[in-house]
Amino acid sequence: MPSPSTTRETLLDAALRLLEERGPGALRIRDVAAAAEQSTMGVYTHFGSKQGLLEQLYLHGFRRLEDRLNSVPSDGQGRHELLAFALAYRAFALDNEALYGLMFERATPDFVPSDASRLAGLSTFEMLATRVADWRPDFTDPAADAHLVWATMHGLVSIELMHRRWGGPLVAHLRGDPEQNYATAIGSLLEALHGR
């Protein structure tokens, strides 16, 4: 008989696969149980409810994002590191579109993460604020500057994902190489912050 932690991981893995295949709005307990070859009671035993399962997926997403962002070296290259950090954020979103939607886009309207989970998710923003402070120790409010960088990163990624999902014609400034456009926008913002 598998251990409770193994069963829990099996259920989370199945939920993650279904999330990526069908999107957050289509995630159902009975489908997760079937995909994990478990009973629906097993899902309720480990997560309490669909909300509990979504909460764990939400936290899992932030752990994965944190791992991705931690993979960006921090060796005194300042602006280049911040650009690499922003590109890692974009890569995470593109590689984990449904999970990113659950984390940031209210892709499941009836799911609202708990305050504790939202605070846990803020660790990735704090990573950015720390890097901004390391880059420019003279900034009086690095968190406010990090917020500008994050808002730009998040906005550009959200627009790119929306166009990726829906297809169709792109407005002129979104055509071309999306990664290069993203890097140019983030680089311009960092340059403006640096020159203040």
Tell me: the pLDDT tens digits for 45-73? 999 999 999 999 999 999 999 999 999 99
Spatial contact of 57 and 99, defined as CB atoms under 8 Å apart = yes
pLDDT at 2 exceeding the cut of 60: no
Q: What confidence score (pLDDT) does residue 151 get? A: 96
pLDDT at 26 exceeding the cut of 90: no
The span from the CA of 51 to the CA of 178, in Å, is 34
pLDDT above 70 as % of the chain: 93
Whether the pTM exceeds 0.95: the reply is: no
pLDDT at 6 exceeding the cut of 90: no
Give the closest residue to 103 by CA, choosing from 123, 86, 118, 84. 118
Q: Can you read off the two tokens belonging to residue 186?
A: 């983030």
Give the closest residue to 132 by CA, choosing from 187, 82, 74, 191. 82
What average pLDDT score do residues 131-145 get?
92
Q: For residue 49, what is the DSSP state?
A: S
The span from the CA of 74 to the CA of 72, in Å, is 7
Q: Can you read off the two tokens belonging to residue 193?
A: 């912050």
Between 31-45, 72-86, 160-174, the lowest mean confidence (pLDDT) is in: 160-174
The span from the CA of 106 to the CA of 113, in Å, is 10
Structure confidence by residue, pLDDT tens digits, 61-113: 999 999 999 999 988 778 999 999 999 999 999 999 989 988 998 777 778 89
Question: In angstroms, what is the C-alpha Rg of the chain?
Answer: 19
Q: What confidence score (pLDDT) does residue 170 get? A: 62
Q: Can you read off the two tokens belonging to residue 183?
A: 């890097």
Domains, the chain, ordered by start: 1-48 (1.10.10.60), 58-194 (1.10.357.10)
Spatial contact of 129 and 146, defined as CB atoms under 8 Å apart = yes
Burial bucket for residue 153 (CB in 10 Å: 0-12, 13-18, 19+): buried
